[in-house]
Amino acid sequence: MTGVEWVLIGLILLFGFYTAWNIGANDVANAMGTSVGSGALTLRNAVILAAIFEFAGAYLVGADVSDTVRKKMFDPEALTVLYGDIANYYLACGMLASLLAAGTWLFIATWASWPVSTTHSIVGAVVGFGVVALGIEGITWGTVGIISVGWVVSPVISGAVAYLIFNIILRTVFYKKDPVRAARSVIPYLMFLVISVLVGVTTYKGLKSFWKKYDYDPKDPQFIMWVLV
């Protein structure tokens, strides 16, 4: 490899660890805050579990997200048309700039205690790079639009589901004469529902690329029944 390529690898590692550090300072608090706040986990155990499962999640089910960020918001091949032999270096530098920009914004927002999203940050950074490199017309605005719609729809749906479930818990547990006894009869059903949803989402969406490697179709009803059983 050339000296430039070694420099790029070094910068990738540096910017990657810097961004991961900022993600850990922000997103892990969202995932583990309730467990630590309720006393279910100590801070040390929460950090250990987060390190294990955040890495496992990124490694096992992060392929689709990476593909979207890497090549679905703009066509990397279009860079070859414009920049020829240096297109690969241009793409590498642009993605490095996006990584650094997202990590820096996460750092600023976390330090100031502002609400911030890693996904919003990296999507915005990559779109910014794409506009500079290819112009506004080079961006796949349909994909960006779908991502943006998800940012609006998902909080609304999550809020509605949380409202519904909390009302169920209030009526079936807290408003009863013996809440502890009521909880013992209701919580197993709620836990089953939560686990089923998590397993289903992870299997159907998160591990989709993993199953395809072994010629399994996550949309096949027989495959879904096999997972549930």
Residue range 6-30, pLDDT digits in tens: 888 899 899 989 988 888 888 787 7
Give residue-wise pLDDT tens across range 153-184: 988 998 999 999 899 999 988 888 888 888 88
Tallying the residues shown for the chain, one arrives at: 229
Phi-psi region of 64 (alpha: psi -120 to 50; beta: other; left: phi over 0): alpha
Give the per-residue pLDDT at 41: 87
- Give pLDDT, residue 206: 65
**What is the overall mean pLDDT for the chain?**
83
CA–CA dist 189, 117 (Å, integer): 32
Distance separating alpha carbons of residues 93 and 97, to the nearest angstrom = 6
CB atoms within 10 A of CB 99: 21
- What's the pTM? 0.77
DSSP E strand stretches across 23-177:
none
160 or 110, which is more confident: 160
C-alpha distances in Å from residue 167, one per residue of 104, 161, 172 = 40, 10, 8
